[in-house]
Amino acid sequence: MALYNDSTYDDYGERIADIYDDWYHSYDPAAIDLLAELAQEGPALELGIGTGRIALPLQDKGVMVRGIDASEKMLDQLQAKPGGYRIPVTLGDFADVPVEGEYSLIYIVFNTFFALLSQEEQVRCFQNVAKHLTSTGHFLLETFMPDMTRFQRGQNISLVAMDDGYLRIDVAKHDPVNQIIYSQHVAWTEAGARFYPVRLRYAWPSELDLMARLAGLQLVARWGDWDKSPFTATSSKLISVYRHES
């Protein structure tokens, strides 16, 4: 199988589903509070819902949540969890927003928006989100702030975890022309290595705002973290909230 194919989304979810919750189970409770505040009476829609890391605690707060994901295995994990069966899910490409109805909150967290690998796909996603937002609804994106200082000669290697008999590293290369970061999460045990390729097309805050405007949305808030701390030059995280232009 080719390491990186040309499809609009790869099999990231299918490859990582069985260990996803071991690696990424935690979340910031402030994220759930902020999403619940924006959802108000709901319903909310999560793009790239995965195993429900965020959707399940949000549902526990009383918000009606549904989700879209391209990975059947990730959705199977979600639906096997307590309360998971109460979250309706759609298997599909979130750039299409392939669901019925309108939502007071549509959200996409953990850099998942950058899984759309071209500007065209990302604009299409904003446009389809706009069609499913209520007139006063909000679209929230949690993304990383691109940090080019991570790369030397366009490459980065970082140790994530090391133990007797276990090693996990992240290897990345940067394509500045297409704004794509190609990564491999590699986990080694004595049984051998497992590879989890990830491709992300990053966008700068100003580009996100312009994509939103092309979809008839305007920025209403931008924070550096879930606690609503200001977005500054040193912020590594970017939380952007849009709504229909007034």
Ligand X SMILES: C[S@@+](CC[C@H](N)C(=O)[O-])C[C@H]1O[C@@H](n2cnc3c(N)ncnc32)[C@H](O)[C@@H]1O
Closest approach of ligand X to the CB of residue 50, in Å: 3
Contact with ligand X (CB under 6 A) among 63, 74, 130, 212: 74
Contact with ligand X (CB under 6 A) among 38, 39, 45, 50: 50
Residues near 190 by beta carbon (within 8 Å), at least 6 away in sequence? 165
Binding of residue 225 to ligand X (CB under 6 A): no
Binding of residue 95 to ligand X (CB under 6 A): yes
Binding of residue 107 to ligand X (CB under 6 A): no
Contact with ligand X (CB under 6 A) among 33, 81, 102, 110: 110
How far apart are the C-alpha atoms of 181 and 199, rounded to whole Å?
A: 6
AA identity, residue 217: L
Cβ contact 177:201 at 8 Å: no
In 26-164 the beta strands, taken as DSSP E runs, fall at 44-47, 65-69, 89-91, 103-108, 133-144, 155-163
Closest approach of ligand X to the CB of residue 44, in Å: 12
DSSP 148: G
Binding of residue 144 to ligand X (CB under 6 A): no
SS3 223: strand
- Which residues contact ligand X (rule: CB under 6 A)? 9, 12-13, 24, 48-50, 53-54, 68-71, 74, 93-95, 109-110, 112, 115-116
